[in-house]
Chain A
């Protein structure tokens, strides 16, 4: 059943609590990258760009929790997370190696009122690697409401196979650079034509990627105050 587009978005900041989610789909889309689709009962609606926290509990009561951006649009009946398995990642390793459909995990969300897109402001979003995940939510929502012209994307990954959602991003019209094959990084020249009219720019990726992209934007004369950054590391 196709979901109806969500045209009125939830407030950015809502009080959240831990709740159970049931894993409905598990897709290992690349070496070390898994997409999980979760059913969350009575879930709060999210804004494109927000994240969920996933909490795991061991037999002895030990818990570990990590945050993952949501890839699904608000209209999607499930919550879609895309997780990169990090070396020694105790949560990402479990989510990649162990989790099966039917398992339950604790989640909390949606979280974050800063790295969110209101689906009304003309925007550019730049993502590297799994930093494209919140951008996918933005793009899906823009398409849902028939406003794709409001959101431009520039993304970077090691290769077509290693960049999550590369086909979908390509179909959306994103500017794409692959750092290994053919071996090119996103540069100021890629961003310049995308900046015209962008009243907000989102940058999501590793610390190095986020620094390089935000420096390129500032170098192009783009106001720092319009740049929203989400950095992630091995945390």
Chain B
């Protein structure tokens, strides 16, 4: 910090909430919608999720398959690169570990490209979607996930900025190299760790 902005006090605040990464603020009960495309209407009867790329066999799950898998819940915070964070929220879904355990990964698989039915993509290191760090979710705070928020099913990777949590998720492609996805090609960071403020390319 060079110097303070003249006359800027900022929001009234007590000690900084330790759950807020640097540069983030608590949005409270709001949940802003930021999507770069037209919101699609997706019917669960035709929804599917596929894992392909560096796997022994391509595998696809239907909505019924998804709901037959063991459920788990994420309870915690989410952080958007536009600087809002939503604290102490929860999502219900299935851990990515459950899906990845049902395919055999090629030995060189190290990255994932997540693709949405809209064509939106985002890239992630495999290590960021394994070990209990990522989910496919269909419910938020006990209610079905709305289309505006990526329903019926979105990816949830809450330890990274929320553009990594692809809405309308439809595909995971295992890769041996990192390739930029939609926002990553458009100036945003390849990893997006909010605690390191990896917002834009070059951070």
Contact = CB atoms under 8 A, between A and B. Distances in A.
Contact of A234 (B6, B30, B118, B182): B30
Contacts of A170: none
B200 A65 contact: no
B186 A12 contact: yes
Contact of B4 (A59, A67, A111): A59
A216 to B, nearest CB: 11
Nearest to B8: A56
A128 to B, nearest CB: 15
B186 A64 contact: no
A233 B34 CA distance: 8
A98 B23 CA distance: 21
A18 B76 CA distance: 30
Contact of A15 (B8, B35, B183, B201): B201
Contacts of A106: 5
A111 B34 CA distance: 16
Given A56-B10, A57-B3, A98-B8, A231 B38 contact: no
B4 A16 contact: no
B132 interface: no
Interface string B102-128: 000000000000000011000000000
B185 A13 contact: yes
A183 B141 CA distance: 38
B68 interface: no
Contacts of B22: 63
Contact of B11 (A14, A90, A215, A218): A90
B39 interface: yes
Contacts of A230: 36
Given A12-B186, A113-B185, A64 B37 contact: no
B119 A225 contact: yes
Interface string A105-118: 11010011111000
Interface residues of B, number: 42
Given A56-B8, A57-B4, A235 B83 contact: yes
A226 B117 CA distance: 15
Contacts of B119: 225
Contact of B36 (A14, A115, A211): A115
B62 interface: no
A158 to B, nearest CB: 21
B25 A207 contact: no
B47 interface: no
A56 B5 contact: yes
A132 B185 CA distance: 25
A235 B38 contact: no
Given A15-B202, A113-B185, A58 B37 contact: no
Nearest to A226: B38
Contacts of B63: none
Interface in A90-107: 90, 94, 98, 103-106
Contacts of B39: 211, 214
A61 B8 CA distance: 11
A64 B32 contact: no
B185 to A, nearest CB: 7
B38 A227 contact: yes
Given A113-B186, A224-B38, A233-B33, A105 B5 contact: yes
21 contacts: A13-B187, A16-B200, A58-B10, A59-B4, A59-B9, A63-B1, A64-B10, A64-B11, A64-B83, A66-B82, A90-B25, A94-B5, A103-B6, A105-B5, A111-B187, A113-B185, A114-B186, A228-B36, A231-B33, A233-B30, A234-B30
Given A66-B82, A235-B32, 4 more contacts: A16-B202, A63-B23, A214-B39, A235-B27
Interface of B: 1-11, 13, 16, 22-23, 25, 27, 30, 32-40, 80, 82-84, 118-119, 148, 182-183, 185-187, 200-202
8 interchain residue pairs of minimum CB distance: A113-B186, A15-B202, A233-B32, A56-B5, A214-B38, A13-B187, A58-B10, A56-B8
